[in-house]
Amino acid sequence: MSILSKLSQISIKSAVQSSKHCFSSYPWLHKPISRTTILKTWRICGFGAGLGAVTLRKAACAPKLSKRIDHLRTTEDQNASMTAGELWNLIKPFFGWFFAAVVCAILSAYINIQIPLCLGDLVNGIVKIIKDESNNLRSHFEQLKPSALHLMTLYVAQSALTFLYITFLTVLGERMATKMRSDLFQKLLHHDMAFFDSHKSGELSARLNADVQEFKSSFKLCVSQGLRTFAQTIGCIGSLYFLSPTMTMYTVAVVPGIILAGSAIGAGLRQLSRRAQGQSATASAVSDEALTNIRTIRAFAMEKLESRLFDNELDKARAMQEQLGVGIGLFQAGTNLFLNGMILSVLYGGSNLISKGEMTPGALMSFLVSAQTIQRSLSQLSIIFGTAIKGWTAGGRVLQFSRLEPSIPMDTGVCIPYHSLWGDIKFEDVSFSYPTRPGHTVFENLTLSIPAGQVVALCGPSGEGKSTITHLLERFYEPKSGRVTLDGRDLRELNVEWLRGQVIGLISQEPVLFATSVEENIRYGRPDATDEEVREAARAAHVDEFVSRFPSGYSTVVGERGAQLSGGQKQRIAIARAILKNPPILILDEATSALDSHSEHMVQEALNNVMKGRTVLIIAHRLSTIRSAQMIYVIKDKKALESGTHEQLMAKKGSLYRKLVEAHNVDS
Amino acid sequence: MLQLRLIAGLRNASNTIRSQAVYRSFSSLTKSPALIRNATQILSKNKRAVVQVFTRTCFHPGASSQVPLQASGQLSGYQLVQRLLKFVWPKDKPEIKRRVLVALCLLIAAKLANVSVPFLLRDIVNYYNGKAPEFLKLTFDGTPSQTIFTAGIATCIAYGIARATASLFNELRNAVFAKVAQNSIRSISRSIFLHLHSLDLSFHLNRQTGALSKAIDRGTRGMSFVLSSLIFNLIPTAVEIGMVSALFTGTLGPEFAYMTMGSIGMYGIATLGVTKWRTKFRHQMNQADNDAGNKAIDSLINYETVKYFNNEKFEADRYDHFLKKYEGASLKTTSSLALLNFTQNAIFSGALIGVMCMAGTRIAAGDLTIGDLILANTLLFQLSIPLNFLGSVYREVRQGLVDMNQMFSLLTLKPKIVEAADAKRLEIVDNDISLKFENVHFGYLPEKPILKGLDLEIPVGKKVAIVGGSGSGKSTIVRLLYRLYDTESGNVRINGLETRDLTLDSLRQSISIVPQDSVLFHDTIFYNLAYGRPSASMEEVYQAAKLADLHESVLAMPNGYETLVGERGLKLSGGEKQRVAIARAILKNAPFVIYDEATSSLDAITESNIMKALKGAVEKRTSLFIAHRLATIVDADIIYVLQDGKVAEKGSHFDLLAVDGLYAQLWKSQNIHGVAPKKSKEEDDDLMLELDLDKCCGSSSCNR
């Protein structure tokens, strides 16, 4: 309260004083400058710093609303920074455009350097006219014409070059960004399942879109402004030296101090920028998760709680952005103060030299404009530096995921030729725990066999790892010890793309559909399938029965993650997808759990046809679906506790399978 | 050959005996070949009937309708700015007002300091140019040189201070106003977020998360830019142009002002013209950006499916296709920007040359000094700095208004379900809650009715079950109870009151649901359990977990209740997730509980344990079970069998079996599942084989 009031009063006073400067500057010539004005100026700077301190203190007190937010918050990454080599790798494919942009920018800067010199000539010509006071005005004006035309030519050339280098730079920036996004997306899709277990999709898409966008903007600005600024600074310093070596020495002496101070502050701003971006990603993740899980939130009437969580994270992001803004503001203010001090020294020295007769007014004009060009360039340099910090951080965040390599490579390993592929699967003394939960052992020395061409079923209590067997078979994870073999070969030797793409078909207990049409969802099993093949698979899975009654038929859009279909309908589409894929090994993970008895019966018939001649692994609680399996394994206590056919297990006294069956029948 | 037939006969005989055992519970049968044969024939006939009964139309909500993101309520630019300023100048936040005033004062100070700079520069040059010769002449007197030196230093210092002050004021204004802008953005974002949650389920079923996030994000950024541009860029620049023109007229002559205004006019016209032409390229770019973002998010959210089918390259190619579109549109956008910049530079350079020529002419005529020339040059040059941004500011403001319009349009989307003005709170005493459907007609689309005159009652404290085929309307009943949709005709009453007359909050607080497809948040198991009632104590959460048969499983995990579950609960098995959902509903402790296929992912033993626990939990509580497995609802007080949008049968388990209608057919089909129909001739052969076994067996232990 008091700070703002004082700040308001001081700003009003300063405004009044500025007005006085404007309209009554002559009194300044007759009396020395007041110390009070200087002190007030410094006081304003002090209040600015104080305001920043207040903001910083306020930000640190933000309370934590829920543990859930802590898990959404991204940890500060030490690797979130780009190296020069990585930047070069991004530029290299488009070096031609880069070189063209650089050349045009330098030429544009060169012309900018020539403008003050030409201006000086013009001023000198005008001065001569005044001094001569000749009556022959026409001839003297003719003398000015070449200088004026020269200046106009420079202006036009500068505009043309600006057009060219902006165009070249745009091509470069857009193509770099496109390649960056495309490469990152490919990298993301090829990562291990464990990677997706520990990263939210909202965060991944933020890297893919917002961070690439920020990097591209920063890159284009740094090349266009930075390059020209640098060239102009060097060129104008050369001009200054040509005009007056003495004054140039005084001016250049100030520059290293500015650079050192700027670097020190820049380091702090870089860290602040990184934290601010992380917090923004956290807030985005909160809203993404809430909107994704809208049904659960609606069912529990938790809209207000969700709003409060989001509000809280937004507030934190705002506080961090404010800190960053104040920091950058102070940085630029300090830079401008130093640069204006440089102008002051130019004027002081120049006036001294003019009084001694060692400098012409035109030369002072040229010197002044060149010095102003340097000042403007260095001011832009400070802005560019801030932008470069953000861009460097954003680029680092993009590349951070690109640097990660999946521990299970997708494109190496051998493929078993089709004519010698039998589909004989064995788990040999497998021990496993999930990478995200290393302390929780799922399997210990699991041994089981799925012979070629046979139907094998898994059953057991919930949470004992039946689905994990599927994950190991698909090689989403690697066993900790032991091995999984296909036709006698370790899965680690086999090509993962081939294994997932051609060999194994999986129908999951929670089929996930894309937000596109029914037809496209089925076609996902084999993207190059014809319409007739898609329809055939749909009929085989009894999808045709309900789809043909939709107003839009197969073009019906199923909504995000299939939200507009019932569980049974989604499962039938997933079954059609697997039928279309036509793999030699089929895994049914609770594939019919969401179907009613009638639908289950029909789909079971379809599956019975599909299962002929294949190796089939069934995971189910519905014992009716596994009764006909040729081998049943009961999974419990981290291993296959029992095995045998339905009859064998039923005949065994005290078996878990028998208890499961009897519990099933008791309820019946 | 005889051996093979014997084995087959044994298998079929076993099936026949099992079927017979079922019938023994309900009717007295004697060991007679004729009766056995008749029973088999009856079963075959019933199987066909069951197949016929369940052939019907399937339809689910929202399958073919798309709610556009900008459904209604296009706002004009003026209305948008008005709405925006309401947040900048809020009546209830004096601090924000104060900050706005301080920022404006700093702005004025910066502009005044800025305009004073060229005048100081003129004085400097005039002074030295005019005084230098005299100074040389006065080399003998020390006092005048000291005076001149002092005056020069004072002027230079004043110039430097003016420039420094202008920059400082600008930066301070940025710092002060940052809080105002960020506060406004936060308020609006929160309003929209809360509003989205109040929208219908039909909106959320149709909208895409990616597009929605983009609309909010782009809208808030547009808001920030419009705010700062309007207040700190456009208006101040206009004021500065006015000041410069006035100063030109006052000090240099009206023709300079005319030249300045004419140039700026041409500049503005060219800028706006080219900017309008470029707008369509920018729209194309935004559309392509949206498409790429949606594709990426869709793939990343469904990464499991991508991996199952090994379609990473397919997804990457699809994404790249949209990126190429974006690249092309972006190139057009920026190329046209370069053209605009060239045009602006050409106009302004011409203006600068014109002013200098005019000044030169006047200097030659003796009307102006060299300082005046530099004054004109510097004033015009300073104008170019804000004018450089005229095009981009105009475009960004227009784009900002478009983005804000899209975002605020979300606020104008009205939920179709609104509370009545005189809505009453639903007050439940001692968990006494009864529900009734009275002649309800409803369809998600007008031409596709789902419920056709549904009459259904759920009395106080009763366990009621609903069964029926897919698409018969079971889930629709739940949605109507929650009032996610409104009936077309007929009433849904709770404790005698229509749902339309109740507040939505109290209505939904009174109902617990265990959905078939449960979703977990990315947090600890404890948090997910406590979501049912965030204020619950730890003991209450543990008790709910025990009732859901989850407590032992959780303790077996290394981190226990603090174990993290991944995004959408991917690390728990299906059965574990359903048990979390059950525990969540138990914890909510609502008087009315709905179980929608709550145990479909559980094994029989776990299911049995939970059903026993739930018996205690649902005691003295009204509950509704929707199930495909009839075993879980055998003990229901009332079972409704839905068919074709109506109640086809009603009664208890044994009542319905006695009627021998739809329910009985369902029951039989579930208990004899897997028995393939046989031709009558083969059946006779199997029976004969069985009889032969009876004859052959001479052991005393044989009961046949």
Domain ranges of chain A: 3-62, 84-403, 422-667
Helix (H, G, I), strand (E, B) or coil at A208: helix
pLDDT digits (tens, 9 = 90+) for A515-532: 778 887 888 777 778 887
pLDDT digits (tens, 9 = 90+) for B81-101: 666 666 666 656 676 666 677
Q: Pairing state of beta strands A585-589 and A504-507?
A: parallel
pLDDT band at A256 (very low <50, low <70, confident <90, very high): low
Contact B554, B525 (CB under 8 A): yes
Specify the pLDDT at position B391.
Answer: 66
Chain B residues touching residue A667 (CB < 8 angstroms) = 604, 607-608, 611, 629, 631-632, 634
Task: Please state the rounded mean pLDDT for residues B130-146.
Answer: 41
Number of Cβ atoms within 10 Å of the Cβ of A531: 10
**In chain A, which residue's Cα lies nearest the Cα of B48?**
A598
- In 3D, which of A325, A278, A58 has the Cα closest to residue B181? A325
The C-alpha atoms of residue B336 and residue A324 are separated, in whole angstroms, by: 33
Specify the pLDDT at position B258.
Answer: 77
Specify the pLDDT at position B65.
Answer: 33
Share above pLDDT 70 across residues of chain A, in percent, rounded to a whole number: 55
Q: Which residue has the higher pLDDT, A54 or A663?
A: A663
Pair of tokens at residue B226: 């419009």
Chain A residues touching residue B151 (CB < 8 angstroms) = 28-30
> Does A160 have pLDDT greater than 80?
yes
> Does B338 have pLDDT greater than 60?
yes
The C-alpha atoms of residue A206 and residue A213 are separated, in whole angstroms, by: 10
pLDDT digits (tens, 9 = 90+) for A470-485: 778 777 777 878 878 8
Chain B contacts in chain A segment 239-268 (CB below 8 A): none
The C-alpha atoms of residue B631 and residue B605 are separated, in whole angstroms, by: 13
Question: Domain boundaries in chain B?
Answer: 74-411, 435-672
Specify the pLDDT at position B583.
Answer: 83
Whether A512 and chain B come into contact, CB under 8 Å, resolves to yes
pLDDT band at A391 (very low <50, low <70, confident <90, very high): confident
Specify the pLDDT at position A27.
Answer: 33
> Does B562 have pLDDT greater than 50?
yes
Task: Please state the rounded mean pLDDT for residues A336-350.
Answer: 66
Specify the pLDDT at position A78.
Answer: 44
Q: Which residue has the higher pLDDT, B310 or A107?
A: A107
CB-nearest to B558 from A325, A440, A510 is A440
The C-alpha atoms of residue A297 and residue A228 are separated, in whole angstroms, by: 54
- In degrees rounded to 5, what are phi and psi of residue B564? -80, 135
Cβ–Cβ of B182/A559 closer than 8 Å?
no
Cβ–Cβ of A661/B604 closer than 8 Å?
yes
Check for a shared fold between A84-403 and A422-667.
Answer: no
Task: Please state the rounded mean pLDDT for residues B424-437.
Answer: 70
pLDDT digits (tens, 9 = 90+) for A595-637: 666 666 666 667 776 676 778 888 776 566 676 777 788 877 7
Contact A165, A158 (CB under 8 A): no
CB-nearest to A361 from B109, B345, B370 is B370
Please give the full DSSP string across A371-437, using - where no structure is assigned: HHHHHHHHHHHHHHHHHHHHHHHHHHHHHHHHH---SS-SS-SB---GGG----EEEEEEEE--TT-
Cβ–Cβ of B193/A307 closer than 8 Å?
yes
Can you tell me which residue has the tokens 């002002």?
B257
> Does B548 have pLDDT greater than 70?
yes
CATH node for A84-403: 1.20.1560.10
- In 3D, which of B44, B227, B18 has the Cα closest to residue B671? B18
Specify the pLDDT at position A593.
Answer: 61
Contact A620, A590 (CB under 8 A): yes
CB-nearest to A343 from B163, B297, B515 is B163
pLDDT digits (tens, 9 = 90+) for B200-211: 655 665 555 566
**The length of chain B, given as a count of residues:** 704
pLDDT digits (tens, 9 = 90+) for A402-433: 766 676 666 667 677 756 776 778 888 888 87
DSSP letter assigned to residue B562: G
Q: Find out if CATH 1.20.1560.10 is the number for domain B74-411.
A: yes
B435-672: CATH, from 1.10.3480.10, 3.40.50.300, 3.40.50.2300, 3.40.50.10490:
3.40.50.300
Which superfamily does CATH assign the domain made up of A422-667 to?
P-loop containing nucleotide triphosphate hydrolases (3.40.50.300)
Cβ–Cβ of B160/A341 closer than 8 Å?
yes
**In chain B, which residue's Cα lies nearest the Cα of A291?**
B209
Contact B628, A598 (CB under 8 A): no
Helix (H, G, I), strand (E, B) or coil at B534: coil
